[in-house]
Amino acid sequence: MPRIIDYEKSDAAKEWIRDEGAEQEERYKQIVKEMDDLSDERDVWVEKFFERIQTRGFNVHYDNRRAIPAEELPKRPDRPFKVVF
Amino acid sequence: MSRPHIEPYVETMVPFRRMTLPGFGKGMHYKVLSLDSDTGACSLVVKFESGYSLPPGMSYTEMELYVIDGSLKFGDQTFERGHYLWLPAGVSMPAMSAPDGARLMMFYNHGEPSFVESEEDHPRAERHKKVSVNALEDIVWGPANVSPSVAPGCFVKVLKFDPLTHGFTFMYCMTPNFWQDNISYHDCMEEGYHIWGTSWMMQFGYLPTGGYFWRPPWINHGAFQSDYGCIAIGRTDSQLHNYFHFNPWTTPEENQERAAAQLYRQKRNLYEWVRAQDGHNHPHDFEHPHYHEHVHHDDHD
Ligand SMILES: [Fe+2]
């Protein structure tokens, strides 16, 4: 089942991939920065999420929900909160 | 096939760029949403100028296309808004044109965009696997048919399903006031593009029209919410399983460990067999005995 057929990449193709790859690296850095800038807001979102799953409930499956007891909530680990990897 | 984690990326403010790769002629413009910088495989938003045309020809890699706006003449067919095409590698397309222009998504899955004039299929092409369907008219919305499932109000249309990997291309929508209070991750890659509307995820914030993500396995996403709904196109590279939890701070490594622990509980016999040290971990599929060879062969390119 060939998902790609053997061929020789042209120089133009190699250059295109190199250029677009370099731009994507910049884009990635920009995304990481934007997501870092969102940190404080995200912390509030997490707090609200914890409130909702204790009251309205955590979505286990489709419309099955479970209210999470406070003692089950995770403790924030002592490391940066990364969302982009 | 590997691409970085691109999430979120909103393409609407970014200008189109003229396509200069050989074969595509004049009048095609694109934006790269994500790219595998080893192979050139990529996901693009593409604009065809009014009057753009291509002669009959093929791509070296399998290719997927979705018409966002406008329409496309494809031989004697017309692809209107919502048309989805999956072309296996080397399948010859008829002459194609966009008399009034069109905006598309194009996915070149295993190599950079390529176009070679040809009225015939490549000898290795598998034309019978072609998929051509109008996603908006020919398929109905249904609930996501997986367990555990996304919450009520998220609907799916499957456009293309790979019986070997269970990877699929799909439309998904969220109805107004959709919410799902869990955090999800998968053991597959997941990609999405918002054709219209805004949704929210606890990690990445608001994803508007034109918002995109390419998310490698094991990465947390969710809780989810949408005020007024959204419609999107999505893809995975293998079976999509929802690993739900409520710890926002886990790492991809921890998520991976947990997935393996679940596999041990849920598919104990298979897990034991695969992890055996005596060579069982090179599984053989009597229906597809050469699948591994193809994977290796393809990944080399
Ligand atoms: Fe997901």
Per-residue pLDDT of B201-235, as tens digits, reads 999 999 999 999 999 999 999 999 999 999 999 99
Interface membership of B122 toward A (CB under 8 Å): yes
User: Closest approach of chain A CAs to the CA of B36, in angstroms?
Assistant: 8
Could you read off the pLDDT of B192-202 as tens digits, one per residue? Answer: 999 999 999 99
For residue A57, give the 3-state DSSP assignment: coil
Query: Helices then strands (H, E): number in chain A?
Result: 2, 2
> What's the whole-number average pLDDT of chain B?
94
Examine residue A81 and state whether it is found in any structural domain, yes or no: no
The answer to whether the CB atoms of B203 and A83 lie below 8 A apart is yes
Measured over the CA atoms of residue B251, residue B252, residue B253 and residue B255, the dihedral's sign is positive
B4, B62, B249 member nearest A3 (Cβ): B62
Examine residue A38 and state whether it is found in any structural domain, yes or no: yes
CATH of the domain at B104: 2.60.120.10
pLDDT given for residue B275 in this prediction: 84
Residues of B in contact with A67 (CB under 8 A): none
pLDDT given for residue A1 in this prediction: 57
User: Closest approach of chain B CAs to the CA of A69, in angstroms?
Assistant: 12
pLDDT band, residue A3 (cuts 50/70/90): confident
Question: Is B280's pLDDT higher than 70?
Answer: no
**Domain shared by B93 and B155, yes or no:** no
- DSSP for chain B, please give it: -----EEEEE-TTSPPEE--STT--SSEEEEEEEE-TTT--EEEEEEEPTTEEE-SEE-SB-EEEEEEEE-EEETTEEE-TTEEEEE-TTPPB--EEETT-EEEEEEE-SSS---EE-SS--TT--GGG-EEEETTTSS--EE---SS-PPTTEEEEEEEE-TTT--EEEEEEE-TTEEE-SEEE-SS-EEEEEEEE-EEETTTEEE-TTEEEEE-TT--B--EEESS-EEEEEEESS----EEE--TT--HHHHHHHHHHHHHHHSHHHHHHHH-SSSTTS---TT-TTHHHHHHHHHH-
Interface membership of B125 toward A (CB under 8 Å): yes
The answer to whether the CB atoms of B251 and A82 lie below 8 A apart is yes
Examine residue B210 and state whether it is found in any structural domain, yes or no: yes
The secondary structure element, H or E, covering residue A39 is: helix A39-55
Residues B286-301, mean pLDDT to the nearest whole number: 59
Residues B65-93, mean pLDDT to the nearest whole number: 97
Give the B window 268-287 contacts with A, CB below 8 Å: none
Could you read off the pLDDT of B151-161 as tens digits, one per residue? Answer: 999 999 999 99
Examine residue B44 and state whether it is found in any structural domain, yes or no: yes
- Which of B265, B215, B206, B221 lies closest to B236, judged by CA? B215
pLDDT given for residue B277 in this prediction: 73
pLDDT given for residue B296 in this prediction: 44
Nearest CA in chain A to B64: A3
The domain boundary, picked from B220, B242, B264, lies at B242
Question: Is B257's pLDDT higher than 90?
Answer: yes
The total number of structural domains in chain A stands at 1
pLDDT given for residue B297 in this prediction: 42
Give the B window 141-200 contacts with A, CB below 8 Å: 143, 147-152, 164, 180-182
- Which of A63, A62, A65 lies closest to B148, judged by CA? A62
The domain boundary, picked from B219, B242, B265, lies at B242
Ligand 1 centroid to B119 CA: how many Å? 40
Examine residue B88 and state whether it is found in any structural domain, yes or no: yes
How many percent of chain B have pLDDT more than 70? Answer: 95
Nearest CA in chain A to B22: A12
Ligand 1 centroid to B77 CA: how many Å? 34
Ligand 1 centroid to B192 CA: how many Å? 9
The domain boundary, picked from B193, B212, B242, lies at B242
- How far apart are the C-alpha atoms of B27 and B70, rounded to whole Å? 15
- Which of B11, B171, B146 lies closest to B81, judged by CA? B171
The answer to whether the CB atoms of A84 and B5 lie below 8 A apart is yes
Ligand 1 centroid to B184 CA: how many Å? 6
**Domain shared by B37 and B127, yes or no:** yes
Examine residue A63 and state whether it is found in any structural domain, yes or no: yes
Domain that holds residue A41: 12-72
User: Closest approach of chain A CAs to the CA of B269, in angstroms?
Assistant: 25
Question: Is B281's pLDDT higher than 80?
Answer: no
User: Measured between alpha carbons, how far is residue B219 from residues A30, A49, B214, B294 in Å?
Assistant: 19, 18, 11, 28
Interface membership of A31 toward B (CB under 8 Å): yes
User: Closest approach of chain A CAs to the CA of B142, in angstroms?
Assistant: 13
Protein residues with C-beta less than 5 angstroms from the ion ligand 1? B 184, 190
Interface membership of A85 toward B (CB under 8 Å): yes
Domain that holds residue B37: 6-134
Examine residue A33 and state whether it is found in any structural domain, yes or no: yes
The answer to whether the CB atoms of A5 and B60 lie below 8 A apart is yes
Residues B124-131, mean pLDDT to the nearest whole number: 95
The total number of structural domains in chain B stands at 2
Examine residue B20 and state whether it is found in any structural domain, yes or no: yes
